[in-house]
């Protein structure tokens, strides 16, 4: 289960702008540079920031610097020096405990997002941070962890010239990343919805302590998911307002589409929260019903044995002048009477639908 908060002990007492990694998978970061325009593209893997030359201000091609994994502070500081990134931006990039946000620094825009996936084997959500820096002719994306080829669909569209991405500027690349991130939210929510349905069936038919533990884990994940998604609507809304010269007016219709999707995602999350709240009542009702069923069975058994105990008690007094004790068929007769009593009572309970 993802941690709600990441430890910040290493940053305690340091000056603002100090570069310390908070979070991340600990893997060595990989840097890929992809430059493209309408006529073609150029791509290269870099061993470090020192191998990279930033685009010029008048460069018409779009440069995408894709960093997989949190870079070492020295590498990020060098990369930030190339692009003129503020020390506080560099500090925020290495701190993966931020809520989604957007900050306009004039020459560039800094955006923080959360990538959300669902681990089917562990049955839990997986959240990581991605930082985006949008410049006039460049985009820098820095993921918290390495690995799964998350941006591969966008890279494929660039390298194969699919769609309009190579015809437009860097703001459209940021939109494409936002759209991919939001689409993945729907995949994760669909898996969580299936898990909630299964959990509801378990609550109704087979409630247990293990089921209750799964419920609490899922409720905690929904809370964390809500914390990660709600601020995203504000980020998209800020981009849609077009306060920055880096966001073209032609992008408004696409940003509105993302805004609608984010609103829909928030509605789904709130629906899940309501369902989980109601499921706790279902669990308590199921437990109460099971207790009632057990008590009903025990009560019926006790009620049946009351007259039998009375008969056995009467003939267990061992008075000398009890005539039935001397009868040859006394014992079978008493057992027959007890059997008749049980038969009559069971049929009476069935007639009353207590059984």
> What's the confidence (pLDDT) of residue 265?
92
What are the angstrom distances between the C-alpha of 84 and each of 78, 108, 173, 213, 255?
Answer: 10, 9, 20, 49, 27
Indicate the domain borders of the chain: 9-285, 291-351
Compute CA 325 distance to the chain's CA centroid, rounded to the nearest angstrom.
75
> What's the confidence (pLDDT) of residue 174?
93
> What's the confidence (pLDDT) of residue 24?
61
> What's the confidence (pLDDT) of residue 290?
80
> What's the confidence (pLDDT) of residue 139?
93
Is-same-fold flag (9-285; 291-351)? no
Q: Please choose, from the candidates 54, 255, 34, 31, the residue with its C-alpha nearest in 3D space to the C-alpha of residue 157.
A: 34
> What's the confidence (pLDDT) of residue 106?
87
Top CATH class, 291-351? mainly alpha
Top CATH class, 9-285? alpha beta
3-class DSSP string for the chain: CCCCCCCCHHHCCCCCCCCCCECCCCCCCEEEEEEEECCEEEEEEECCHHHCCCCCCCCCCEEEEEEECCCCHHHHHHHHHHHCCCHHHHHHHHECCCCCEEEECCCCEEEEEEEEEEECCCCEEEEEEEEEEECCCEEEEEECCCCCCCCHHHHHHHHCCCCCHHHCCHHHHHHHHHHHHHHHHHHHHHHHHHHHHHHHHHHHHCCCHHHHHHHHHHHHHHHHHHHHHHHHHHHHHHHHHCCCCCCCHHHHHHHHHHHHHHHHHHHHHHHHHHHHHHHHHHHHHHHHHHHHHHHHHHHHHHHHHHHHHHHHHHCCCCCCCCHHHHCCCHHHHHHHHHHHHHHHHHHHHHHCCCC
Per-residue pLDDT of the chain (355 residues; tens, 9 = 90+): 445 445 555 555 555 656 666 766 566 778 888 999 888 888 888 765 555 655 655 567 899 999 888 888 888 888 888 888 888 998 888 888 888 999 999 889 999 999 888 777 777 788 888 999 999 889 999 988 877 788 899 999 999 888 889 888 899 999 999 999 999 899 888 888 888 888 888 777 777 777 778 888 888 888 888 888 888 988 888 888 877 788 888 888 999 999 999 999 999 999 988 888 888 777 777 778 788 888 888 888 888 889 888 888 887 777 777 777 777 888 888 889 888 988 888 888 888 777 7
């Amino acid at each position: 289960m993802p941690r709600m908060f990441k430890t910040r002990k290493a940053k305690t007492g340091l000056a603002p702008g100090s570069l310390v990694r908070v979070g991340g998978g600990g893997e060595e970061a990989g840097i890929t540079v992809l430059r493209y325009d309408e006529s073609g593209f150029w791509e290269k893997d870099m061993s470090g920031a020192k191998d990279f030359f930033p685009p010029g201000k008048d460069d018409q091609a779009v440069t995408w610097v894709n960093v997989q994994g949190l870079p070492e502070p020295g590498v990020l500081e060098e990369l930030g020096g190339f692009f003129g990134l503020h020390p506080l931006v560099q500090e925020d990039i290495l701190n993966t405990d931020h809520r989604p946000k957007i900050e306009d620094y004039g020459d560039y825009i800094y955006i923080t997002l959360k990538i959300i996936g669902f681990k089917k084997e562990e049955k839990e959500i997986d959240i990581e941070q991605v930082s985006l820096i949008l410049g006039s002719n460049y985009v820098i994306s820095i993921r918290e962890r390495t690995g799964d080829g998350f941006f591969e669909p966008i890279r494929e569209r660039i390298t194969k010239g699919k769609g309009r991405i190579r015809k437009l500027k860097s703001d459209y690349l940021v939109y494409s990343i936002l759209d991919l991130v939001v689409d993945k939210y729907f995949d994760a929510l669909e898996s969580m919805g299936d898990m909630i349905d299964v959990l509801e069936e378990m609550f109704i038919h087979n409630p247990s302590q293990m089921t209750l533990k799964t419920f609490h884990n899922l409720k905690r994940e929904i809370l964390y998911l809500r914390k990660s998604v709600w601020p995203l609507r504000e980020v998209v809304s800020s981009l849609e307002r077009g306060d920055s010269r880096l966001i073209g007016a032609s992008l408004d219709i696409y940003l509105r589409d993302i805004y609608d999707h984010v609103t829909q995602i928030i509605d789904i999350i709130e629906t899940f929260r309501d369902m989980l709240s109601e499921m706790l009542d279902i669990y308590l009702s199921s437990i109460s019903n099971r207790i009632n069923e057990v008590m009903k069975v025990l009560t019926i058994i006790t009620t049946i044995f009351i007259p039998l105990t009375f008969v056995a008690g009467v003939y267990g007094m061992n008075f000398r002048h009890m005539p039935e004790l001397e009868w040859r068929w006394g014992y079978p007769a008493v057992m027959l009477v007890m059997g008749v009593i049980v038969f009559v009572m069971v049929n009476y309970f069935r007639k009353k639908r207590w059984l």
